[in-house]
């Protein structure tokens, strides 16, 4: 009777590679330990993961988790070892991951958190850029902005589409981020508070969410212009569902925004889209325009930007015109 090990070793290499590519990552790690030839074969096969979570712990420890059938045991290991294991996933340049979540929400004030992020960035920058589509950076306080930007720089700009974070980011931090080649390719951001943002930096994005202390009428107008095709403003053909969601910690001064709109020949008309909006929003303005639909025929469709405003929020989204007729 042929042993399982002999049976596996005698299989064609191309077949074994196909099997390896369909294994979950933990099974691949077990296979790597079987023999030198198995390890070398596994390293030739790209890894494709839906989600990786790097959870930061106390005393410079961390834990790597996968969305796929992960253990419930909350066991942490030296961060350096976890970083090496993480980098191993992307040793093959074709390996990719849809979502990377760096989770250290309660560890933001720990100086060791900065050390972990710096070590992670340094290790990733040593090799090829990693293919990650969405970065979620859940650290409640993080001031080492160059280290954070280096994490971004370690990623393939052709694949990174979304950055979500929760900490306050300074004007300098945004400038560092906007200077990367990744920024212009991004589709979505979800940030915490941004100090004194330059709204021109965000007008290429399809989905925008962050908080500011104050917002002036000119910046609201820039957002509207970037989403709507006015006669003198040609913008990107954003898909339906695109939005900007700006939270304001101080008074947004909606009357001054409306006055600014009037000065630009916008006919003001408060048209709430549902009855519950009446007490919640001071003004709901609809901007109707046309855009090329995303289909084979490149047909033109009628759409609207619905802009809702109150003293703590400026929210706009694009949808089909007949949805709220």
| pLDDT per residue as tens digits for the range 232-259 | 444 557 899 999 999 999 888 999 999 9
pLDDT at 137: 94
In this prediction, residue 236 carries a pLDDT of 53
Distance between start and end Cα atoms, the chain: 73
The rounded mean pLDDT for the chain is 88
**In which band, very low, low, confident or very high, does the pLDDT at 213 lie, cut at 50, 70 and 90?**
very high
pLDDT tens-place string over residues 281-308: 999 999 988 877 766 567 788 899 999 9
Give the pTM.
Answer: 0.88
User: Do 63 and 111 form a contact (C-beta atoms < 8 A)?
Assistant: no
Residue 13 belongs to what H/E stretch?
A: helix 13-22
Tokens representing residue 77 in the block? 């290991």
Q: Name the residue among 123, 132, 314, 128 with its Cα closest to residue 223.
A: 314
Q: Give residues with Cβ within 8 angstroms of 95, minimum separation 6.
A: 46, 47, 48, 89, 130, 131
CA distances from 127 to 41, 123, 133, 136, 156 (A): 20, 8, 18, 22, 11
pLDDT score, position 19: 81
């Amino acid at each position: 009777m042929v042993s399982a090990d002999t049976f596996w070793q005698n299989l064609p290499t191309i077949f074994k590679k196909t099997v390896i590519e369909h294994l979950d990552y933990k099974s691949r790690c077990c296979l790597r330990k079987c023999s030198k030839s198995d390890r070398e074969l596994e390293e030739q096969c790209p890894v494709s993961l839906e989600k990786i979570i790097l959870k930061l712990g106390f005393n410079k420890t961390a834990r790597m988790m996968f969305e796929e059938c992960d253990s419930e045991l909350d066991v942490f290991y030296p961060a350096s070892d976890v970083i090496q294991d993480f980098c191993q996933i992307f040793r093959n340049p074709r390996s990719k991951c849809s979502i990377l979540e760096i989770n250290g929400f309660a560890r933001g004030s720990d100086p060791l958190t900065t050390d972990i992020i710096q070590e992670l960035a340094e290790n990733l920058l040593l090799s090829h850029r990693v293919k990650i589509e969405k970065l979620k950076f859940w650290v409640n306080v993080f001031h080492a902005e160059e280290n954070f930007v280096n994490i971004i720089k370690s990623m393939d700009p052709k694949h990174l589409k979304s950055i979500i974070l929760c900490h306050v980011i300074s004007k300098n931090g945004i400038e560092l981020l906007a200077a990367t080649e990744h920024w212009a390719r991004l589709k979505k951001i979800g940030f915490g508070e941004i100090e004194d943002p330059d709204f021109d930096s965000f007008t290429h994005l399809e989905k925008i969410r962050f908080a500011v202390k104050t917002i002036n009428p000119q910046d609201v107008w820039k957002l509207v212009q970037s989403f709507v095709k006015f006669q003198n403003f040609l913008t990107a053909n954003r898909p339906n569902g695109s939005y900007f969601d700006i939270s304001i910690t101080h008074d947004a001064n909606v009357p001054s925004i409306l006055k600014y709109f009037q000065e630009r020949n916008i006919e003001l008309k408060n048209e709430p889209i549902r009855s519950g909006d009446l007490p919640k929003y001071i003004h709901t303005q609809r901007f109707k325009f046309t855009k090329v639909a995303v289909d084979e025929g490149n047909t033109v469709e009628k759409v609207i930007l619905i802009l809702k405003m109150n003293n703590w929020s400026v929210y706009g989204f694009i949808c089909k015109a007949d949805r709220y007729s």
